[in-house]
Chains A and B, each alone.
Chain A
Amino acid sequence: MKSSVKTVFLIALLGMALVISWNAANAQRNEAPPAPQSEMQDGNTRTLDSVQPQGLIGFITTSNPYCYQPDVTRNECVINFRYTQANQDGNSPYLKNLQFSIDGKIRYYSGMFFENSNTYDYAMVPQGFKVLCGSPNESGLGNDYGKSYSVVISAISTTGTQMGANFFSVACPAYAP
């Protein structure tokens, strides 16, 4: 008698486990796609508007944006960054290009040719992106700094939508001859 009760109890447990796992699998299948993400840190922002599948694999990576003044006698500074990279998962819509804009003006376009990543390295534009240094404290950041520039690095899809973007500002040394 006791063993039959045990058997029934075990069968019931097994049945419950099956029902729970089936429900969980169904819920996962009907799950809505993950929402676009946005993160902020230390005044910088990055967004991931189009997420896997049909999107980028994670945020666009950008490392060490900088602005330098080669010659103190000239009001000419150079903006660049060490590297940046966007990777896609290979599903349509595809990553069409990476573009950089400085103060709202596109300064760089990089297309794709049957590849899943788009990489930029500072040495690809060795002269950098020339901008005006600006006068001391022009950006309100102190006399060491001149102008501050807003930079946007965007990944654009084949349908023209933005798949992700990095937003930051970089301040340049002041021109103080």
Chain B
Amino acid sequence: MHRFRLFLLVIALTVLLFLSPSPGSAQTSSISLQIQNPVCVQVSLNSGTCFIRMRSISAVGSGSSFSRLRVFVNGKLRANMIGFFENSGYVVGNMFGDGFVVSCGGKNASGNPDYGNAYPIVVIASLADQTTVSGSTTVYCPYFEGKSFLPLLLR
């Protein structure tokens, strides 16, 4: 009976040894990134100015505080967002005003006859512990025909 109890004790300890979490299996933090509808819009035909914007960007972290979210257009940092005692970053609506001003470009500037310039967009989001996620895409802008519309003056 005594040996049987000892045997059960050894089995239980062995099971515990394998089931208990080891330092290596500690839960690591992660961050997810969503970018919705990157857009390039030419508001006025009279202007070669286009605007790049996104319907929304969201970065949600777990296990660590949200640190920052950066938006690069054509390799240039255009927006820097930080976290303040929170684990997520959101860009919604008109948080970036009308968007990022870029040059529309002439017809076929990016090799596509329907469009002007093409711009790479990179979004990088990170947590305080340096866990990082990035997303990239390319937007094509409407081309600028270079037409100028003169006002009709009547005598």
Could you tell me the distance in whole angstroms from the C-beta of B91 to the nearest C-beta in chain A? 8
Please classify the interface of chain B as helix (H, G, I), strand (E, B), loop, or mixed, using the class held by over half of its residues.
Answer: strand
State which size class the interface on A falls in: 35 or more
Q: How far is the CA of A71 from the CA of B100 in the complex (A)?
A: 6
**Taking the complex as formed, is B98 at the interface, i.e. its CB lies under 8 A from any CB of chain A?**
yes
Chain B residues, CB < 8 A from A144: 70, 77
Provide the A125-149 mask, 1 if CB < 8 A to any CB of B, else 0: 0111000000000000000110000
B145 within 8 A of A: no
Indicate whether A42 sits within 8 Å of B83 (C-beta atoms), given known contacts A68-B78, A70-B101.
yes
Q: Does A80 contact B95, Cβ atoms closer than 8 Å?
A: yes
Let me know if B35 is at the binding interface, CB within 8 A: no
In chain B between 14 and 53, which residues have their CB closer than 8 angstroms to a CB of chain A? none
CA distance A68 to B83 in the complex (A): 15
Question: Across the interface, which residues of B come within 8 angstroms of A82, CB to CB?
Answer: 90, 92, 95
How many interface residues does B have (CB within 8 Å)?
30
B79 interface contact, C-beta 8 A: yes
Contact of A64 with B by CB under 8 A:
yes
- Restricting to A31-81, which residues have a CB under 8 Å from any CB of B? 39, 41-42, 44, 46, 59, 62-73, 78, 80-81
Docked-complex contact B80 and A66, CB < 8 angstroms: yes
Does A170 reach chain B (CB closer than 8 Å)? yes
Type the 1/0 row for A4-46, where 1 means its CB is closer than 8 Å to any CB of B: 0000000000000000000000000000000000010110101
| CA of A127 to CA of B96, assembled, Å | 9
Contact of A173 among B65, B69, B77, B94 (CB under 8 A): B77
Contact A173 B76 (CB under 8 A): yes
Residue contact B90 to A64, C-beta cutoff 8 Å:
yes
A155 at the interface (CB under 8 A from B): no
Partner of B76, one of A44, A63, A72, A170: A72
Indicate whether B82 reaches chain A with its CB closer than 8 angstroms. Answer: yes
Interface code B65-107, partner A: CB below 8 Å = 1, 0 otherwise?
A: 1010111000011111111111001111111111111000000
Does A174 lie within 8 Å of B77, measured CB to CB? yes
6 more contacts with CB within 8 A, not counting A64-B84, A64-B86, are A68-B80, A70-B100, A72-B78, A145-B77, A168-B82, A173-B80
